Amino acid sequence: MRISGGVLRVLLLALVIPGCLLVRTTEHIITLKEDGSGEGILHLIDIRSDAHSDSLVLRDFDELMTAYGGEKVEEFEKYTRKITAKRLRVQGDTLMAEITYVFATLEAVDGLRVTQDELGFVFSPEREVVRTNGTMTRTEKERTRIVWERDAKRLVYEVRERQLPPSVSLASIYRRYVR
């Protein structure tokens, strides 16, 4: 499944996902201040290409590297967010990215639903919440909802795609790239 919708869509499209790239798992750690500003840390775990040839996989990798450092960062920062750190790394055969950003208001956190009593996210049935420090429930349409008390200081959740199409890890290409 290509990345689309919800919390991840704008952030990934804005930062690193130029087209045929997939991310198996994302981990979000959002620290909130009293005034609604805060810091987010996003871990993209297992960045892959769904291309069907070596040359297209290499093209996807090149697009990843271009997007990771270019205009997509500026697009992300238009929404009162600022990237303060980012890095790519390989663990075993898995390429991962870590992106740290700060935001001025809760409205800048993509997909966050804010009410007078709670904060929350909703995920489609194609995505599985692996862990969270919030309270998880199921909706009528088999979506997963995570909520926290409105005064929560830290929102933590990890989400995994239930199924990915055949794809190739970009870890080995990144290893060659950094040598």
- The per-residue pLDDT for range 114-151, each reduced to its tens digit, is 999 999 999 999 999 999 999 999 998 999 999 999 99
Q: What pTM, to 2 d.p., does this model score? A: 0.85
| Residue of 162, 151, 80 lying closest to 128 (CA atoms) | 162
Roughly what angle, to the nearest 10 degrees, separates helices 171-178 and 54-69? 60
**Greatest CA span in the chain, whole angstroms?**
51
pLDDT at 70: 66
Which residue, 132, 135, 138, is CA-closest to 157? 132
Q: What is the pLDDT of residue 6?
A: 38
Which tokens is 154 given? 């830290």
pLDDT at 62 over 60: yes
> Which pLDDT tens digit goes with each residue over 8-40?
444 444 444 444 889 999 999 999 999 999 999
